[in-house]
């Protein structure tokens, strides 16, 4: 039976990963991921988990160790934050191209400079095109559930792709939440053992990571794109089965009071919780406001996204990273491009919020939503706004 516990989310995420019976963990500690790294090390050292915990000298090494371990047929896990992910960047597209189902927990943190250890999404956004499946957790329970789901989805023979699970640094990782930890028996029922496509073994030689000449590189890129798009089918199936077994249901795009909403605000990760309170307060006053939460970032759920925002006149996109000198925040840029061919598309407003750990309060979200209400039936101004910037 599942156990109801009060636990720090980073610790709970490490417990969830241990329940997945990983074979190898290679994690280099970096704030705010450190508690995941430390707690996993503790679980292995205490003998609660029969796994190899590789103490590496950098994040470039941790992801490379996971790449090799996964190639050898091991279930491999890593976790990092910010600069650590930037150091891993070189290896990320290699892991996906080699179809190695490594799972990574990313405690999201702002990227330097200037140095800032607090939460935003500027670490994950530059990795967008690495060919990884990318999930965003909204709370501790989702961080636990999705850690387990990730191994099952990544290792599905139809998928065989790495997954990064975004868990907002501090806002989630360092929060103590009441959550349900599934039992080992329940996790074993949901997650079958890893069956690799091939393993590095002298008895049956195989070359992994072979090079591709210009004559064949385009075809390889086509495969990468196609496999990532098709992974959505497996993701939906895995979430459906999770719902049936555990009673908690997951969708690529979640909505909250979106029915009949003329103004929708879109968030990713932990901010959905705060934004939902703002929506409640405005709805109580008769303001037609609603919330859309994007859980699946890659593959981008175009179909579900269009369905979720249908009928809205204004869509406010909250970005937690800046695309300097570009068209706005990276999420808004994608949303606008997804909507370009739709005749009845809403006006899109783009707010850059919560950068480098700046708090975004319920009052802030109400203010942003009211700005959205003012934009109904007006031609959108375009561009983007650094919300709350001192001027």
Partner 1 sequence: MTTKKKYPEKWTELNPGCMVFEAGSAKAHKTGSWKAQHPVWDNRKCIKCGVCYIYCPEACVSRTEEGYYAADLEYCKGCGICAHECWPGAIEMKEEEV
* Site residues (vs partner 1, CB under 8 A): 97-100, 160, 197-198, 205-210, 212-213, 215-216, 218-220, 222-223, 226
Instruction: Return d(Cα 356, Cα 116) in angstroms, integer.
Output: 6
Instruction: Return d(Cα 270, Cα 252) in angstroms, integer.
Output: 15
Q: Which of residues 44 and 197 has its CB atom nearest to partner 1 in the complex?
A: 197
| DSSP string covering 343-360 | TTPPEEEEEE-SGGG---
Q: Which helix (H) or strand (E) holds 95?
A: helix 92-97
8 Å CB contact between 72 and 19: no
Q: Which of residues 225 and 359 has its CB atom nearest to partner 1 in the complex?
A: 225
Q: Which of residues 32 and 131 has its CB atom nearest to partner 1 in the complex?
A: 131
Q: Which of residues 197 and 236 has its CB atom nearest to partner 1 in the complex?
A: 197
Instruction: Return d(Cα 120, Cα 342) in angstroms, integer.
Output: 30
User: Cβ 85 to partner 1, closest distance in Å?
Assistant: 22
Instruction: Return d(Cα 230, Cα 221) in angstroms, integer.
Output: 14
User: Cβ 67 to partner 1, closest distance in Å?
Assistant: 11
Question: Scanning the structure block, which residue is given the tokens 């800046």?
Answer: 322
User: Cβ 358 to partner 1, closest distance in Å?
Assistant: 41
Comparing C-alpha atoms, which of 302, 295, 301, 261 is closest to residue 278? Answer: 261
User: Cβ 76 to partner 1, closest distance in Å?
Assistant: 15
Q: Which of residues 207 and 377 has its CB atom nearest to partner 1 in the complex?
A: 207
- What the block records as the tokens of 257 is 């009071």
User: Cβ 315 to partner 1, closest distance in Å?
Assistant: 35
Question: How do 289-294 and 253-256 pair as beta strands?
Answer: antiparallel
User: Cβ 200 to partner 1, closest distance in Å?
Assistant: 10
Q: Which of residues 113 and 214 has its CB atom nearest to partner 1 in the complex?
A: 214
């Amino acid at each position: 039976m599942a156990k109801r516990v009060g636990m720090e989310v980073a610790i709970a995420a490490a417990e969830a990963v241990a329940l997945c019976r990983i074979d190898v963990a290679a994690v280099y500690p970096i704030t705010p991921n450190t508690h995941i790294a430390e707690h996993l090390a503790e679980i292995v050292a205490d003998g609660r988990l029969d796994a190899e915990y590789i103490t590496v000298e950098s994040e470039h090494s941790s992801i490379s160790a996971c790449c090799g371990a996964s190639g050898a047929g091991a279930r491999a896990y890593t976790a990092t934050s910010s600069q650590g992910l930037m150091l891993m960047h070189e290896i990320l597209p290699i892991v996906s191209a080699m179809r190695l189902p490594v799972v990574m927990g990313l405690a999201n943190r702002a990227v330097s400079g200037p140095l800032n250890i607090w939460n935003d999404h500027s670490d994950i956004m530059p990795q967008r095109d690495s060919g990884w499946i990318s999930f965003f957790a909204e709370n501790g329970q989702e961080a636990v559930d999705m850690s387990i789901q990730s191994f099952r989805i990544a290792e599905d023979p139809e998928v065989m792709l790495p997954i990064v699970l975004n868990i907002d640094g501090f806002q989630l990782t360092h929060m103590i939440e009441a959550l349900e930890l599934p039992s080992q028996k329940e996790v074993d029922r949901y997650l079958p053992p890893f069956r690799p496509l091939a393993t590095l073994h002298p008895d049956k030689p195989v070359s992994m990571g072979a090079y591709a000449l210009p004559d064949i590189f385009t075809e390889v890129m086509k495969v990468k794109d196609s496999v990532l798009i098709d992974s959505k089918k497996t993701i939906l199936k895995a979430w459906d089965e999770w719902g049936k077994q555990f009673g908690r249901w997951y969708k690529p795009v979640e909505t909250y009071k979106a029915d009949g909403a003329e103004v929708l605000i879109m968030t990713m990760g932990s901010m959905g919780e705060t934004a939902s309170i703002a929506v409640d307060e405005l709805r109580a006053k008769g303001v037609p406001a609603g919330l859309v939460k994007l859980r699946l970032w890659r593959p981008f759920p175009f179909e579900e996204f269009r369905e979720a925002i249908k009928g809205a006149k204004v869509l406010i996109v909250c970005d937690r990273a800046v695309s300097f000198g570009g068209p706005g925040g990276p999420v808004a840029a994608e949303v606008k491009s997804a909507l370009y061919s739709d005749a009845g598309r809403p006006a899109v407003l783009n707010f850059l919020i919560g950068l480098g750990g700046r708090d975004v309060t319920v009052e802030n979200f109400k203010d942003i939503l009211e700005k959205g209400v003012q934009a109904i039936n007006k031609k959108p101004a375009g561009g983007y706004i650094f919300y709350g910037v001192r001027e």
